[in-house]
Copies of this chain bind each other. A is one copy, B any other.
Amino acid sequence: MGLAMTRNLLKAGYEVVVWNRNPAKCEPLAAEGAKVASSPKEVAEKATYTFAMLSDPEAALAVAEGAQGVVAGLAPGKGYVDVSTVDAATSQAVAAAVRAKGATFLEAPVSGSKGPAEQGKLIFLTAGDQALFDAVGPALDVMGKAKFFLGEEGAGANMKLVVNMVMGSMMTSFAEGLALADKVGLRQSDLIDVIGLGAIAAPMFALKGPAMAKRAYAPAFPLKHQQKDMRLALALGDQVAQPLPMAAAANSLYIDARAHGLGDADFSAVMEAVAAQQQGEAKH
């Protein structure tokens, strides 16, 4: 994703300095005009605003810290934007280190994957220093179709959790609709079509529904990750005393699906926890 995002910046005329753990990955960008640095620190020294796109919290910390890390190259007037998806605690730790150097910090996890990254259609859920959000706004607009400034560090991660919680509950309710339709003799394809024409039409239903009707769950977003997000959202609700009975019921079904060996299937496989019954006595 970092490759696609950088290309969009270069195309828009930005001067870009790049670094990657694997130098070979920088070559195509160098051919398109990017300068290549030998360390994260050097990127931060040469650039006004440094962007990081990393796979997980451990990588995000590794690139930020240490003698050759981004923080070592920061100074007053510079800013650090981490577009990785990390937990609130990691964001807060990096933010503190960045500010100790007099620089500013923005957590900016993205919604959207490779395709939207290439098309400049990402969504940025940012939080941290609003001045930095304003300063890098034009660059975010080059890489994405929408950007939000949500508050203090951690707010971006929380927004992703809330959205994924609603998504997880919706998927489970949709599975209940498909299962009930089938049991009463309706075609699931008709249900998908009817839903697609009305007030509750959602891209996810159109995308996943037909495969769910075939009980096929090629993994896009693994069920175990969806269940982890349900767990974390429920924990967030517990912290702030917000009861979440729908999310709790959905979570039970995702755990049930995990218990049936579906953790690595697509999260739509919660269908199996909703629908999988043997042929026994049915009608009362």
Q: Report Cα–Cα, A2/B152, bound state, in Å.
A: 47
Q: Report Cα–Cα, A34/B179, bound state, in Å.
A: 45
A176-B246, A177-B163, A246-B169 in contact; A123/B241 too (CB < 8 A)?
Answer: no
Copies of this chain in the oligomer: 4
| Contact count band on A | 35 or more
Q: From residue A192, how far is it (CB to closest CB) to chain B in Å?
A: 11
Which of B173, B242, B275 contacts A173 (CB under 8 A)? B173
| Chain A residues within CB distance 8 Å of chain B | 111-112, 123, 125, 145-146, 148, 150-152, 155, 158-159, 162-163, 165-167, 169-170, 172-174, 176-177, 179-181, 183-187, 190-191, 193-195, 197-204, 207, 224, 227-228, 231, 233, 236-253, 255-256, 258-264, 273-275, 277-284
Known A183-B237, A243-B256; further 7 A-B contacts with Cβ < 8 A: A150-B190, A176-B242, A176-B244, A237-B255, A241-B259, A241-B282, A260-B278
Top 4 nearest A-B pairs by Cβ distance? A261-B280, A169-B173, A241-B259, A259-B277
